[in-house]
Amino acid sequence: MKKINKIGLITGGGDCSGLNAVINGITKTAINKYGLEVIGYRRGYAGLYHNDFQVLDLKAVSGIMHEGGTILKSSNKDNLFNFPMLKEDGTYEYKDVSDVALENMKKEGVDALIVIGGDGTLTSARDFHRKGIPVIGVPKTIDNDLPATDVTFGYNTSLETITDALDKIHTTAYSHDRVMVVEVMGRNTGWLALEGGIAGSADIILIPEIPYDLNKVVEKIKERDRMGKSFAIVVVSEGARPKDGEVHVREIIKDSADTVRLGGVGDVVTRQLQALIHNHEVRYTNLAYIQRGGIASQFDRTIGLRFGVEALDLLMSGGTGKMVRCQGREITHVDLEEVVGSGVVGETSKGGAKYVDPNGQLVKAAKSIGISFGD
């Protein structure tokens, strides 16, 4: 691998807290330890395609550790290996424009990329590595569903947001004897609903890995009534589905790398419960995008910074085509080829994501204290 003098950073996919901590760690390590130049491409791979970037120096990353989101902005719609090109008739033709990105890197003297993102963003990182570009990936998702790493930054801050919301919803549920249904993110995995629900004293948690029977949910609410608990908190993951049913798709985004957008199952569950329960009002809250934003937690600042430092050290030691990851208390690395498109680590892994194990310790602990999963 040729000598590296200048690196480019990319933040792709959905935003989350901790991104700026990673940018901070990479930039300061590159400058202070290795004397490198650093630029950040704006709006993910779109910036690489349009050669839209900003110089990252010590001043640019000063005071950003705690801030949510990313100073480089982000996009989850720009796969340069399958890029939508608008035709005269208003339709799109998809082309591989990755060579344009390579020319832009050559023009600016960028020798390597550090790519911060989830499955889709890291898939493109792997593909650039296959084209001979030195690349290091950094795992990012609030859903905590990436294989090969115990945890991703952004997840902890999202859990804090969910827990805080449930604490507040608990008081109004109690005051009005209501059943409160709270929908959280997570895509096809239930980590946010499970850990957030446990910490927020949920009575019922519905997750994708355990298809639910609505009658079992009703039974749990009636059981609480008999105990003198005339209210209930139901946490629903956006990917939850009933037994013999399907997930609730909110919309299809055709020009996105991840076309399917889940959401709205909490509203469905609310209306169904209201039809079956007549002694309680049932109300619905979707936490939606507030789970992505806000000041980063101490944990996400620290692990984000450590990911950034390790990514730069790995790159400068000759590593490429790899992703940094958290294993226990250590930051290590794994080949991107092992991460993208195949489950590696987790309570259960399959189909490219890290899933909750229905028979794992977390679920067993929740059931031990009386939480129902509608099964």
- Residue 261 and residue 208: Cα distance in Å, rounded? 15
Asked if 241 and 211 touch (Cβ cutoff 8 Å), the reply is yes
- Residue 7 and residue 358: Cα distance in Å, rounded? 42
- Residue 114 and residue 121: Cα distance in Å, rounded? 11
- Residue 52 and residue 172: Cα distance in Å, rounded? 48
Which residue in the list 78, 111, 143, 203 is annotated as catalytic?
Answer: 143
Q: Under 8 Å CB-to-CB from 77, ≥6 apart: which residues?
A: 46, 253, 255, 256, 257
- Residue 293 and residue 297: Cα distance in Å, rounded? 11
Catalytic annotation present for 143: yes
Between the CA of residue 322 and those of 13, 109, 340, what are the distances in Å? Answer: 19, 22, 11
Q: 140: helix, coil or strand?
A: strand
Amino acid letter at 325?
R
Active site residues: 143
